[in-house]
Structure 1
Amino acid sequence: MKKVISKVIGIVAIIFLYTPLIAQQQNAQNPVIFADVPDMSIVRVGNSYYMSSTTMHMSPGLPIMKSEDLINWRIISYAYDALADVDALSLNNGKQAYGKGTWASSLRHHNGTFYVSTFAQTTGKTYIYTTKDIEKGPWKVTAFQPSLHDHSLFFDDNGKVYMVYGSGKIKMVELKPDLSGINTAVPEKVIIENAGLPSGNNGGLPAEGSQLFKIRGKYYLFNISWPRGGMRTVLIHRSDNISGPYEGRIGLQDIGVAQGGLIDQPNGEWFAYLFRDDGAVGRIPYLVPVKWKDGWPVLGIAGKVPERLDLPASKGLIPGIVASDDFSPKAGDAELPLVWQWNHNPDAGLWSVRKRKGFLRLTTGRIDSNFLLAKNTLTQRTIGPYSSGTTSIDVSKMKDGDFAGLGLLQQNYGLIGVNIDGKDRYVVMIDAGTGKPIEKERVLLKQKVIYFRVDCDFIKRRDVANFFYSLDGKNWKAIGTPLNMAYTIPHFMGYRFGLFNYAKKQTGGYADFDYFHISDQPSVKK
């Protein structure tokens, strides 16, 4: 009997010990996406949520994601394949669009049609993309000048359509009924003279990132500011009329989580979707519970961003946001999964997953001086708190001067690859963590197939990457130096894994990538 009682007590103790852990695993936690998904705009249609985000100089661009629970997202489409055919967006003639391209978008659903608008410094235009089918498309585009900074597309109840935009001074324009441009018959109006005033107006980042909503007959405008000496702050203005006057207040000022707007659930619960700068991994999304009091949305729990949320647990970012790829598309499928984006506009004639079954072939077509100017670098996001990318490359058809491998794309990049020097092949690691690329190690390679791995540690903003190679895909050897990753404003984007091949001496060589595998577990043997 004593043994039975003891056993029962033990079982109860185990249940008691693990119940909190089980409960935690059943709940979502912030950040809801530990990856670079900034400038989110979210709409709900029925029980489904749709989100657009910023990827600037990447192609295809303006990603659209879908979720059934606000936590587990997957990429379902892009609004455009290429924004424009100009040198800066195509890495031609020494020009580039790092940190430019298209910025903060505004996603809306109105009378059965999806609209996503954005703007581009690179072209000086505002763009509106429309579709009836957000997953399959096609997307139609309308573009006009000027480029309206951080605008919010808004359909009012009276049938009129507006864009609210600006930095510091928030302005409003009415669009033509067909959305083909600004209705110049209606004068532009300043609706808030100084939107940053509630946060102190002491310099720093002026209020921007407008997102306008109409809820229960009132207009609510969300902005972000960054007061000098303070942190990124959510600002909310409210009015009974779209053109004002608006009264404003601080909506949230905690751990730098800011910029976004409001979303409701079918059950009547509300959340604010926002993001936070999180070092080298980029700008990562958070959800904050919202309660309504006296006609104002009240963000957070006692003004704080909660660690855990009363929402379903995340199933991970693989394969919805990032994914492994064996480069073997099935009949009828796209050649590349949606998780992939090219660094700037690609040259379609210089890459293929059809010329050799089960391989991505990257062929050189011009001479490039460095990784940041190289054509046809295929990328996808790194993810936190840890991510590891591996690939295998057949380098037998590379030519003298070619350099192909696996990189981490940002201004202060890191590379591991094979460099052909005359008749010899070398495994090379390059560290550009100081802003200047430095070859850290070179090892003679005597075989045609090589394996590379890059491990990224973003835990507590450690922001360190380590590089490895293998001759058999099983036994790994560290090479070079750890890369100290840094989020730089010129690129304005979190680090990305990149598969690359570029020529320094002659064109026509190619590298065949057998696969790219991504993991979020730091358990791979080193």
Structure 2
Amino acid sequence: MIIKRILLSFVAAACLFFSLSAQERQAHNPIIYADVPDMSMVRVGNTYYMSSTTMHMSPGVPIMKSTDLINWRLVNYAYDTLANMDELNLTNGKSTYGRGSWASSMRYHGGTFYVSTFAQTTGKTYIYSTKDIEKGPWKAVSFRPSYHDHSLFFDDDGKVYLIYGSGKLWILELNDDLSGVKPGTEHVLIENASAPSGTIGLPAEGSQLFKVNSKYYLFNITWPKGGMRTVVIHRADKITGPYEGRVALQDRGIAQGGLINTPEGKWYAYMFRDNGAVGRVPYLTPVSWADGWPVLGVDGKVPETLDLPKSKGFIPGIVASDEFSRKKGDRDLPLVWQWNHNPDNHLWSLATRKGYLRLTTGRTDTSFLMARNTLTQRTIGPVCMGSTSLDVSNMKDGDFAGLGLLQKNYGLAGVKVNGDHKTIVMINAGTGMAVEVQSVPLTQKTVFLKAECNFIDKKDVADFFYSLDGKTWTPIGSQLKMTYTLPHFMGYRFALFNYGTKNIGGFADFDYFRVTDHVTK
């Protein structure tokens, strides 16, 4: 009996061990706990590529790469600058927050990668193409108008289409060189694509079209009144229809995306979910097939775990620390960085003072949100911390430089210069109005700044700190309640900034930016 009990205990322990080991090997949703919305995805051989939306950021349309659908890293952008205009340049009092370029469509056809997008700001549709998606170069064509939430599609007969619209979905054929619309080809594809989900608040949009086993499958998002973001799929034997539709998924608002398969023949749907202040975060769910329809999820739900490799984290693939030191051949700025709107490239440098990012003022501004040359990268969940070291010795009267959390309701910790005096200040715009909560005199040339973010269960709060030696940290100001706002339409971002309010020509030198996926205990 004793031996039997020992054996049973051993078996139970072994089962627990292997169960825990299996859990450790599993991926977890969301697959990226950061703002990566409007994904479009392709597989080429054993490699996956994904594009996303970053709207008013420059460069734009980020391209990510993975070999397992879980661990992604930035490898390129489709464009450096969308256009040269006041709204994109933050000049003459204009901005394009929440606009810029929206949902992209990625395709691979005939050995070439294609990424298309559209912009309300310019009123145009853009198609970028390259043989080498990681290195370029990109060829760009654009034409009017701006086709909303379109899906680029190459059919087997060589014809190229765009499917676009909201509620009423349209199809049109492109010229062979993709330079514009082939005249006389535009017509309604589905009169009311929202119909399967009932009474509508948000009409069906976010089109993504796929062809599987000679049938066409059109994915859309819709939002029934009193309900949640919903996946609707329409199916047809011909690209022009007729289409029949059904609700494919209603689970926690996880929606908008499409299909991807593995080299082994497994199918998944990629989508995203509104997740508070961190932004819109990507999810994967298994897909099975029944009666010629893709069946999303497990018993109608997106599972918490996936039979895919475990995530190795989002550092340095999605966000990364930067010591601002460069070797010959290095990029000036790693791909994790994006400017808030188009930068003025004459007013920033990594070469003037080696090992430092220098931001120089070239005009006067009245607010952080209208200041040019603010350098940003994503925050990540469930918690994260960003810190920097700032040399303020060459700032001028009226200058303000430091570390921010960028959104409409932003938070800032930085140094203000008033005459011969410098103060460390914390600005809290969590209520929608910017308030200088606290100021502390600064009598040395270097200050260290830190921001800690907590996105657990949509707590969405951030705290700022300063240090005079980089070791002992002191809280400053009040806790920022972070809010995802539609005017910006983007998760909070770490931001390095410097702007002048009285003079030009002052500069701030940032020694480093460091990001972690934990906060101070």
TM-score after normalising by structure 1: 0.97
In the other structure, the counterpart of 1:206 is: 203
Q: 1:9 to 1:214 in 2, by over 3 A?
A: closer
In the other structure, the counterpart of 1:369 is: 366
In the other structure, the counterpart of 2:192 is: 194
CA contact under 8 A between 2:389 and 2:449: conserved in structure 1? yes
> 1 CA distance for matches of 2:148 and 2:49?
22
> 2 CA distance for matches of 1:50 and 1:19?
33
Q: 1:18 to 1:482 in 2, by over 3 A?
A: farther
> 2 CA distance for matches of 1:136 and 1:5?
63
In the other structure, the counterpart of 1:223 is: 220
- 1:196 partner amino acid: S
Deviations 1:185-234 (A, max 9, x none): x331101000000000x130000000001110000000000111000000
- 2:472 partner amino acid: N
Deviations 1:460-502 (A, max 9, x none): 0000000000111111110100000000000000000000000
Question: Which blocks of at least 5 consecutive residues in structure 2 are unaligned?
Answer: none
CA contact under 8 A between 2:129 and 2:140: conserved in structure 1? yes
In the other structure, the counterpart of 1:59 is: 58
Q: 1:423 to 1:155 in 2, by over 3 A?
A: same
In the other structure, the counterpart of 1:514 is: 511
In the other structure, the counterpart of 2:112 is: 113
> 2 CA distance for matches of 1:9 and 1:400?
76
User: What is the percent sequence identity of the aligned residues?
Assistant: 67
What secondary structure sits across from 1:23 in the alignment? helix
Structure 1 stretches of at least 4 aligned residues deviating more than 6 Å after TM superposition: 4-14
Give yes or no for the alignment of 1:235 onto 2:232: yes
- 1:150 partner amino acid: D
1:18-33 matched pairs, under 5 angstroms: 18-33=17-32
What secondary structure sits across from 1:399 in the alignment? coil
In the other structure, the counterpart of 2:351 is: 354
In the other structure, the counterpart of 1:154 is: 153
1:34-433 matched pairs, under 5 angstroms: 34-184=33-183, 186-200=184-198, 202-433=199-430
CA contact under 8 A between 2:59 and 2:77: conserved in structure 1? yes
> 2 CA distance for matches of 1:66 and 1:490?
29
Deviations 1:367-411 (A, max 9, x none): 010000001000000000001000000000001110000000000
In the other structure, the counterpart of 1:492 is: 489
RMSD after superposition: 1.6
Question: Which blocks of at least 5 consecutive residues in structure 1 are unaligned?
Answer: none
More off after superposition, 19-28 vs 115-124: 19-28
Which among 438, 453, 464 is matched to residue 461 of structure 2?
464
- 1:323 partner amino acid: A
CA contact under 8 A between 2:200 and 2:222: conserved in structure 1? no
- 1:265 partner amino acid: T
What secondary structure sits across from 1:21 in the alignment? helix
**1:7, CA displacement in angstroms?**
11
TM-score after normalising by structure 2: 0.98
**1:330, CA displacement in angstroms?**
1.4
- 2:113 partner amino acid: F
Count of residues in correspondence between the two structures: 520
> 2 CA distance for matches of 1:228 and 1:515?
48
Q: 1:197 to 1:502 in 2, by over 3 A?
A: same
- 1:80 partner amino acid: Y
Q: 1:206 to 1:467 in 2, by over 3 A?
A: same
CA contact under 8 A between 1:329 and 1:336: conserved in structure 2? no
> 1 CA distance for matches of 2:410 and 2:14?
48
What secondary structure sits across from 2:65 in the alignment? strand
